[in-house]
Amino acid sequence: MSAHPECFYCEEDQRQADLMVRVGDLSVSSLFVFREQTYAGRCLVAYRHHVNELFELADAERDAFCKDVADAARAIKAAFGPVKVNCGAYSDKLGHLHVHLVPKYVDGPDYGSTFRMMPEPRVLLSDAGYASLAARIRAAL
pLDDT digits (tens, 9 = 90+) for 18-34: 999 999 999 999 999 99
Least confident of 1-15, 53-67, 77-91, 95-109: 1-15
Mean pLDDT, residues 71-99: 94
The pTM of the full predicted model, rounded to 2 decimals, is 0.94
Per-residue pLDDT tens for 33-53? Answer: 999 999 999 999 999 999 999
Q: Distance between CA 98 and CA 7 in Å, rounded?
A: 12
Strands, E assignment, 35-80: 43-47
CB-based contacts of 57-63 (< 8 A; 24+ apart in sequence): 57/97, 61/28
pLDDT at residue 2 tops 60? no
State the fold for domain 8-140.
HIT family, subunit A (3.30.428)
Q: Where are the domains of the chain?
A: 8-140
Q: Is 115 left (phi over 0), alpha (psi -120 to 50) or beta?
A: beta
Count of alpha carbons within 13 angstroms of residue 61, beta-carbon side: 15
